[in-house]
A and B are shown apart, each in its own frame.
Chain A
Amino acid sequence: MSASKSAKASKHDEGASPEMWDLRLYTAGQTPKSLAAIKNLKRICEQHLPGRYNIEVIDLMANPRLAKDDQIVAIPTLVRKLPDPLRKIVGDLSDEHRTLVGLQLRRHQEPERA
């Protein structure tokens, strides 16, 4: 139900760009998939983007109009609003490698795989 869950900013990290990551997670009610997605997202962000991320969880059950405005079809969908370009990651984010690829924190070619 909560529109905006948390805004955790932490101190700047490794030598990487200090830009902020603006992420938005669309869910529809408290389904196991949604809950898993929230949990997975937080874990990944803490691990790879400590202090540089901002997660907004949008429950479409509460704001169904947003589904149209933000072009959401699948649930859960994670949208990387910043940095550009816009990226969408669909699913419960249980596959960490693919999530990182989706967020462009890791390239496809890297052999490392969960």
Chain B
Amino acid sequence: MDRGSHSHLKGASLEKAPTGITGLDEITGGGLPRGRPTLICGSAGCGKTLFGMEFLVRGATEFDEPGVFMAFEETAEELGQNVRSLGFELEKLVAKNKIALDYVHIERSQIEETGEFDLEGLFLRLNTAIEAVGAKRVVLDTIETLFGGFSNTLILRSELRRLFRWLKEKGVTAIITGERGDGRLTRQGIEEYVSDCVILLDHRVTDQFSTRRLRVVKYRGTTHGTNEYPFLIDEHGISVLPVTSLGLDHPASAERIPSGVRGLDAMLGGAGFYRGSSILVSGTAGTGKTSLAAHFAHATCARGKRCLYLAFEESPAQLARNMRSIGVDIEPWLKKGLLRIEASRPSLHGLEMHLARVHKQVAEFAPDAVIVDPISNLVTAGTELDTQAMLLRLVDFLKERGITAMFINLTSGGNAWERTDIGVSSLIDTWILLRDIELGGERNRGLYVLKSRGMHHSNQIREFLITSQGIELQEVYVGPEGVLTGSMRAAQEARERAADGERRQLAERKQRELALRRAALEAQIKALQAEFAATEEEAKLSLAQNAAIEQTIENQRERAAERRGSRAVPTPPGQTAKGKRK
């Protein structure tokens, strides 16, 4: 966000003092207005004191700006103890003259007012402290306590106005904390005097879960994020989580990583997920979401990469046992330290704390992939809107680091399929839907890829079988009878096989008949040929007889002619007799 305000920093318009508080400087475009007072207000326990203290400690340790903490409510010892849990060693900084502490104790019962007075004592104390450490930063926590100590508010108001003016003249960057009043930012309306920057802290409990939020109510002369930003207080101090500040400039890797299920890889353009993408696996209860996640974890570890598994439903041991039953043994990865399972009930913390834990785990473990199983359970730790915001930040956070994220979402039965309860679908790159297909008295699992950005993916439903060797994807039967799965698919296939057999038999029979027929015909042809040969023989014989007869007749004619005396050569009578017989 706020790229514009970053340029403010460089420009001469308004100099800013970085707070060093994670995320806050992003929202304010560089920090608090330098040399001016900022009002931090909020109800009791919202983190005002801590905010001020972190501002000073970071200033002293990171920006070489010593500071003065003027406490009206807690003694120096108490303050030291309170912030020690956040890793701030206040005593050391005080000893090194980096921070000066002054506890202003006002005991109403001891004080009587008689006539005119001013707060010169306070001014002197502050001035002494500022000069002692060369302070550039001042925190007054909580100056409104003065109103409890003195009854003459007229004097107090004019003195406070003078104090803020004086602080400005001193050129110190100041934080003034104020308790939130009814309908006003502070009980005594001191926001009137501190007009440059007002930050509101809020500690809200919704459905028994508390969330801290921060909002920049006003920041004169600068653009700033106006949203409410959730913030956390953990052992590293405050971290504000700017929702939109991460922007959409994360790198997009073209590297593909296997999903752990061969059939699924094939559906995803043959290569699996993109590295650093966010994957949503949603489905109703018992559709195999966790099994799919375990395959992915297994595949990630098998590549020698680290995988962080945030389990909100099962303990690590239970998960390991259950996955072993389907042939995915994650135990070795756990032992090798490639897989880390973080199991906790979502209701253990508020959402912010969950997010903080993820941040911490990711920073420590540096995983290549993170699995959140399931995100739907997080709704129990906050409202739907909060959960959505938290997931958005989680997706952004992981994407920015190039970590592949797989989110498991349990959809309740009554909902539309193409909808997540938490409305994160638009953040997701690859969405795998698992559903059961109820048909013919049985429930079978179906899987399809609802969307997968940037890759060619299958548009088909696969039947999803969980076997003792892991997940198998089967082609489903898609035919005139619709989509069939399970035993109906098997039956249909059997039916088809039977029909095939019949057809084959019929063809074979026909072929056999044809062969027989051919044989018969060939036999017939042979008989006819034989008959013809016999006839031909006969014809030849009769022709020969005819010729013999004709010869005999001729001979007789010649002989007759001879006898009449006109012939030269006489014919022997024996020959004639023989020819005639034949």
Instruction: Check: B568 CB closer than 8 A to any chain A CB.
Output: no
Closest B residue to A37 using CB positions: B115
- Residues of chain A within 8 A (CB-CB) of B115 are 36, 91-95
Assess the B121–A33 pair: CB atoms within 8 A: no
Q: With A73-B122, A74-B150 known to touch, is A92 a contact of B128 (CB < 8 Å)?
A: no
- Residues of chain A within 8 A (CB-CB) of B104 are 71, 73
- Residues of chain A within 8 A (CB-CB) of B114 are 89-96, 98-99, 102
Q: With A60-B121, A65-B128 known to touch, is A89 a contact of B116 (CB < 8 Å)?
A: no
Nearest-Cβ distance from residue B170 to partner chain A, whole angstroms: 15
- Residues of chain A within 8 A (CB-CB) of B111 are 88-90, 102
Max chain A C-beta neighbours (<10 A), residue from B105, B107, B112, B118: B112
Assess the A98–B113 pair: CB atoms within 8 A: yes
Assess the B119–A91 pair: CB atoms within 8 A: no
Assess the B112–A73 pair: CB atoms within 8 A: no
Assess the B112–A99 pair: CB atoms within 8 A: yes
Assess the B102–A68 pair: CB atoms within 8 A: yes
- Residues of chain B within 8 A (CB-CB) of A92 are 114-117
Assess the A102–B112 pair: CB atoms within 8 A: yes
Within 8 A of B (CB), among A24-51: 26, 28, 31, 33, 36
Q: State A36–B127 Cα separation when bound (angstroms).
A: 25
Assess the B116–A33 pair: CB atoms within 8 A: yes
Instruction: Check: B437 CB closer than 8 A to any chain A CB.
Output: no
- Residues of chain A within 8 A (CB-CB) of B116 are 33, 36, 91-92, 94
Interface string of B84-111 (1 = CB under 8 A from A): 0000000000000000001011110011
Within 8 A of A (CB), among B101-149: 102, 104-107, 110-122, 124-125, 127-129, 146, 149
Provide the main secondary structure of the chain B interface.
mixed
Assess the B102–A101 pair: CB atoms within 8 A: no
Q: State A71–B72 Cα separation when bound (angstroms).
A: 11
Nearest-Cβ distance from residue B467 to partner chain A, whole angstroms: 77
Q: With A28-B120, A73-B146 known to touch, is A98 a contact of B128 (CB < 8 Å)?
A: no
Assess the A71–B105 pair: CB atoms within 8 A: yes
Task: Tell me how many residues of B have a C-beta within 8 Å of chain A.
Answer: 26
Q: State A31–B121 Cα separation when bound (angstroms).
A: 13
Q: State A1–B115 Cα separation when bound (angstroms).
A: 23
Nearest-Cβ distance from residue B156 to partner chain A, whole angstroms: 9
Instruction: Check: A18 CB closer than 8 A to any chain B CB.
Output: no
- Residues of chain A within 8 A (CB-CB) of B120 are 28, 31, 60, 74-75
Q: State A75–B105 Cα separation when bound (angstroms).
A: 15
Instruction: Check: A64 CB closer than 8 A to any chain B CB.
Output: yes
Assess the A90–B112 pair: CB atoms within 8 A: yes
Q: State A93–B116 Cα separation when bound (angstroms).
A: 8
Q: State A91–B151 Cα separation when bound (angstroms).
A: 12
Q: State A73–B150 Cα separation when bound (angstroms).
A: 10
Instruction: Check: A72 CB closer than 8 A to any chain B CB.
Output: yes
Assess the A67–B110 pair: CB atoms within 8 A: no
Assess the A98–B105 pair: CB atoms within 8 A: no
Instruction: Check: A77 CB closer than 8 A to any chain B CB.
Output: yes
Instruction: Check: A7 CB closer than 8 A to any chain B CB.
Output: no
Closest A residue to B102 using CB positions: A68
Assess the B125–A68 pair: CB atoms within 8 A: yes
Assess the A87–B110 pair: CB atoms within 8 A: yes
Q: State A96–B112 Cα separation when bound (angstroms).
A: 12
Within 8 A of B (CB), among A4-31: 26, 28, 31
- Residues of chain A within 8 A (CB-CB) of B121 are 26, 28, 60, 67, 72-75, 77
Interface string of A54-93 (1 = CB under 8 A from B): 0000001100110110011111110000000111111111
Q: List 28 A-B contacts (CB under 8 A).
A: A28-B121, A31-B120, A33-B116, A33-B117, A36-B116, A64-B127, A68-B128, A71-B105, A73-B125, A74-B117, A74-B118, A75-B117, A75-B120, A75-B121, A76-B117, A87-B112, A88-B110, A89-B111, A89-B112, A89-B113, A91-B116, A91-B117, A92-B114, A92-B115, A93-B115, A96-B114, A98-B113, A102-B111
Q: A92-B114, A93-B114 are in contact. List 10 more A-B contacts (CB 8 A).
A: A36-B116, A68-B129, A73-B121, A74-B117, A75-B117, A75-B120, A89-B111, A91-B115, A91-B116, A102-B112
